[in-house]
Amino acid sequence: MLLELTAALLAASSPLCPSQTTVEVRVDARVVDQNGKPVANVEFADSWAWSEGRWRGSMSCGAPGSRQPLRSDEQGRLRGVWVESPFSEPLLGYSPDRRLVAFAFSKGDPTTHLYSLRGDVVLAPAVDVVGRLRTTVESPRGELKVTVLRPHPDWPAAQRGVTLRLEAPNFCLPLPAGTYQVRIGYGFGSAPWRTFIAPAGRAEFDLGPVTVPPKPFDLLGEVLPDWSVGSSGDPRADQISLAKFRGKPLLMAFDEWGGPLTAGTSVRPAMAALTSHPRRSEFGIALYDTSMRTPEQKAAAVPDAPVVERLFTLVEPSPHSDANELYGSRWAIVVLDADGRLVHCGRAVPDAVAALERLLR
């Protein structure tokens, strides 16, 4: 299950996180407790997971093999390079016993445009924020998502967060005392934003039960809501509704079609290969464009080869149609049966093809 804390901040360019903007942060800080005493072996990371009975940290961006958390030495010194993610999550640091915790934010130099983390990072006693998920849907991906935003110390109006993953719907988040915004999600659905204060001096704060409504991509066996077409590269598509694909299984890929950043390097070739599938005539294929680009930006974009937009029906929804609101995500590959019921939702083409072939047996 996934506990996800995210945020957004302007960052400089770096190639380490594909198709996004990252910033390289030079770290040379000192980790201390509230009395100014150095604390050794404190791990700082922007992504945390509760796994096998312990918290495990990692870095979201960076070269493969270099995503281990930063760790303070015996003198409390924290040194290294932190590749800050495109969403500018801060680092979250835990002492070895997880009873001391701190957020650490990068700071940019307006003259050099370089980013760094320096000075003292002061740990505070952790407040265990606990909560309980309530949902009526068993998510296909089984992911619990909780987005907790924390004010940035230099820009109080700006909210920042960190990614954590959990294994159970009854969750516990060790956080510093303070004010947070929180949104809890499960699968593709999420509850509304809430604000809470984790009070200083308390060991635990109970967030209470949270009910998460499902989204259509969670509802295996259900018929997806139909799209609303604004325009399309396929002149027939403005006359095609989702219902008109009934009678055959349908594979539909949701992504930012029409641009070079679509779906990563593996999706386009895998989709193009479906043209030679031995049973191609027995199923339909459609591309759903979730791009937020303007028509001018789309015209300037040059897709990576192969240009699969010319191979399959391309659906460009009307300007007021958002796939994230309508279905629960802007990036997914789904398979519907001949009656239009959802039988698979994921991110990998091979998994979708396997689900499709099970329908064709």
Give the range among 14-28, 148-162, 234-248, 261-275 with minimum mean pLDDT.
Answer: 14-28
**pLDDT value for 228:** 65
Residue 17: pLDDT above 60?
A: no
Model confidence pTM above 0.75:
no
For 330-353, write each residue's pLDDT tens digit: 889 999 999 999 999 998 999 999
pLDDT of amino acid 64: 64
Give CA 90 to chain center in angstroms. 15
pLDDT on residue 261: 64
Check whether 320 has a pLDDT greater than 90: no
What is the edge-to-edge ordering of all strands in the sheet holding 107-108?
A: 77-84, 23-32, 115-122, 107-108
Per DSSP bridges, beta strands 284-289 and 250-255 are: parallel
Q: In this model, does residue 129 exceed pLDDT 80?
A: yes
pLDDT at residue number 317:
77
Per-residue pLDDT reduced to its tens digit, 250-259: 999 999 887 7
Report pLDDT for 267: 87
pLDDT per residue as tens digits for the range 23-81: 899 999 999 999 999 999 999 998 888 877 888 899 988 766 678 999 999 999 999 99
| CA 104 – CA 91 distance, rounded (Å) | 5
Q: State which amino acid sits at residue 217.
A: F
More confident call, 51 vs 201 = 201
Query: Is residue 162's pLDDT more than 70?
Result: yes
CA angle 107, 110, 111 (to 5 degrees): 125
Instruction: Quote the pLDDT of residue 279.
Output: 95
Paired strand residues for 315? 288
Residue with the larger pLDDT of the pair 214 and 66: 214
The amino acid at residue 326 is L
The pLDDT of residue 12 is 30
Instruction: Please enumerate in sequence order all residues whose Cβ is within 8 A of that of 78, keeping only pairs 6 or more positions apart, or say none.
Output: 27, 28, 29, 30, 31, 42, 44, 70, 71, 72, 117, 121
pLDDT at 273: 94
Task: State residue 2's pLDDT score.
Answer: 36
Predicted pLDDT of residue 274: 95
Average pLDDT, the chain: 83
- Pair 331, 211: CB distance under 8 Å: no
Give the closest residue to 88 by CA, choosing from 123, 110, 120, 60: 60
Domains of the chain by start residue, with CATH = 23-211 (2.60.40.1120), 216-359 (3.40.30.10)
Q: Among 5-9, 107-111, 327-331, which stretch is predicted with the lowest mean pLDDT?
A: 5-9
Higher pLDDT, 189 or 148: 189
What CA–CA distance (Å, rounded) separates 257 from 231? 13
Phi and psi angles of residue 299, each rounded to the nearest 5 degrees, phi first:
-65, -30
**The predicted structure's pLDDT at residue 16:** 39
For residue 322, the tally of other CB atoms under 10 A from its CB is: 12
* Helix (H), strand (E), coil (C) string for the chain: CCECCCCCCCCCCCCCCCCCCCEEEEEEEEEECCCCCECCCCEEECEEEEECCEEEEECCCCCCCCCCCEECCCCCEEEEEEEECCCCCCEEEECCCCCEEEEECCEECCCCCCEEEEEEEECEECEEEEEEEECCCCCCCCCEEEEEEEECCCCCCCEECCEEECCCCEEEEEECCEEEEEEEEECCEECCCEEEEECCCCCEEEEEEEECCCCHHHCCCCECCCCCEEECCCCCHHHCCHHHHCCCCEEEEEECCCCCCCCHHHHHHHHHHHHHCCCHHHCEEEEEECCCCCHHHHHHCCCCCCCHHHCCEEEEECCCCCHHHHCCCCCEEEEECCCCEEEEEECCHHHHHHHHHHHCC
